Every structure is written in structure tokens, then in C-alpha cells.
């Protein structure tokens, strides 16, 4: 098939046969480039890079809850200090002002708690959705000074809040033995490193 333009004969089919592979290669290059950009923030959800305000509480309640165990209260304070040192998020005094909700829980097998009983450990939330189950240690037993049985590893979850200020997620979760212990606070460092790596990748 030829097209005539004035006195010039233009061979259409041979031209398309030669050009088509080049067009395919260009299309593949654009697809790979677009895919690499979408993968740059796969380490953490995008809200970690856009949020400004954070609040810290324990899995069993906030720092104002009188029933909160001392180790959980300490973990809240330590994570708040780590957030302030990081200077990426502002730690809010009110839960409903936060965009990210950091939730902590110190590992425990027998944490002292006055006036309680001995609880039974159930399921330990695992890393990235995988669970690990603790065997039951027996029925609840009353005691004047009780103990709380639970996961032996420290937990750090991050949630977002619904319009009704309820937890939604978690959007990030890890657990680790002594992961909330100072000075390193390894669980917090894991999250910080992941967010900073995603930020660096987004800029590159």
C-alpha cells in the first residue's frame, strides 16, 4: 500500500513495520518508569509522609487512665520523647487532633497489678498480620495483688483515626522483645527508618 503526496510515493506498510517495534519499546520504558515511581512509597502508607500531628497511647488506654500499668505509661512517655526528638510530627495533647495514633504495649507475662486477677494470654498479633498464639496458663485466679498475663514482646502499632475518633488500621505494626526499651527503642527506630527511606525514595 502506497500513499502519493504530489509526485512522491510513500510506502505505508513497510514504514509501520519498521517503526512499530520502536513504539513498543518506548511504551515499555514509560510503563517501567511509572511503575518505579509508584513503588517508591510502598514501604509505608503515604500518610506517614504527609501527616503532621501524632498522639501516643497504650493498647489498654491513654496516659490519663488510672488503670494503666506503669510500664505502659512509661512506654507512652518514651515514644513521645522519641517523636519530639525526631521532629517530624508534633505530639498533640488531645487525641482528636492527631492524624497518626501510635499505640504501645509493653510485653508481659506476669506484670504486677494491684487488686486484679491472673488473666489468660490469648493471641499475640504478629508482624505484618501474622499471628502467634500463647498457650493458656490456666483459669483466672483471684489474688489481692494480681498479675496480667499477655504477649511477652513489646508492641508498636500505628493507626489513623476515623471521623468519630476511633482507631482504623493498624497501618503499621511490629512486635519485638524489649522493642520499647530505652535508649534505642528498636521498634520506633524501625518505623523511623522506614519513613525516612520512603521520603528519600520519593525525592529521588
- Asked if residue 94 and residue 15 are part of one domain, the reply reads no
Highest mean pLDDT among 10-24, 52-66, 148-162: 52-66
- Asked if residue 21 and residue 62 are part of one domain, the reply reads no
**Residues spanned by the domain of 29:** 10-39
33-87 tens-digit pLDDT: 444 443 444 589 999 999 999 999 999 999 999 999 999 999 999 999 999 999 9
- Asked if residue 171 and residue 97 are part of one domain, the reply reads yes
90-114 tens-digit pLDDT: 999 999 999 999 999 999 875 555 4
CA distances from 54 to 21, 50, 103 (A): 52, 12, 11
- Asked if residue 56 and residue 31 are part of one domain, the reply reads no
- Asked if residue 99 and residue 14 are part of one domain, the reply reads no
Asked whether residue 80 is assigned to any structural domain, the reply reads: yes
- Asked if residue 72 and residue 24 are part of one domain, the reply reads no
- Asked if residue 179 and residue 93 are part of one domain, the reply reads yes
Please state the pTM of the whole predicted model: 0.64
Higher-confidence residue: 90 or 128?
Answer: 90
Asked whether residue 82 is assigned to any structural domain, the reply reads: yes
Alpha helices, H only, the chain: 12-39, 47-50, 70-86, 186-203
Number of domains in the chain: 2
Residue 155 has pLDDT above 50, yes or no: yes
Asked whether residue 32 is assigned to any structural domain, the reply reads: yes
- Asked if residue 51 and residue 16 are part of one domain, the reply reads no
Q: How far apart are CA 44 and CA 48, in angstroms?
A: 7
pLDDT at res. 43: 81
Helix, strand, coil shares, percent, the chain, to 5: 35, 30, 35
Amino acid at each position: 500500500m502506497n500513499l502519493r503526496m504530489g509526485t512522491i510515493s510513500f510506502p505505508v506498510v513497510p514504514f509501520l513495520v519498521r517503526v512499530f517495534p520502536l513504539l513498543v519499546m518506548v511504551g515499555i520504558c514509560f510503563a517501567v518508569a511509572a511503575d518505579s515511581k509508584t513503588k517508591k512509597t510502598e514501604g509505608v502508607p503515604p500518610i506517614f509522609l504527609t501527616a503532621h500531628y501524632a498522639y501516643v497511647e497504650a493498647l489498654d488506654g491513654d496516659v490519663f487512665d488510672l488503670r494503666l500499668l506503669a510500664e505502659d505509661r512509661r512506654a507512652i512517655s518514651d515514644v513521645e520523647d522519641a517523636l519530639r526528638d525526631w521532629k517530624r510530627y508534633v505530639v498533640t495533647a488531645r487525641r482528636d487532633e492527631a492524624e497518626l495514633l501510635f499505640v504501645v504495649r509493653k510485653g508481659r507475662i506476669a506484670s504486677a497489678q494491684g487488686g486484679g486477677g491472673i488473666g489468660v494470654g490469648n493471641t499475640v498479633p504478629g508482624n505484618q498480620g501474622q499471628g502467634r498464639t500463647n498457650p493458656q496458663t490456666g483459669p483466672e485466679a483471684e489474688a489481692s495483688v494480681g498479675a496480667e498475663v499477655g504477649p511477652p514482646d513489646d508492641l508498636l502499632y500505628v493507626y489513623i483515626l476515623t471521623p468519630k475518633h476511633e482507631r482504623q488500621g493498624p497501618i503499621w505494626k511490629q512486635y519485638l522483645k524489649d522493642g520499647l526499651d530505652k535508649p534505642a527503642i528498636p521498634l520506633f527506630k524501625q518505623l523511623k527508618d522506614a519513613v525516612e527511606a520512603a521520603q528519600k525514595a520519593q525525592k529521588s
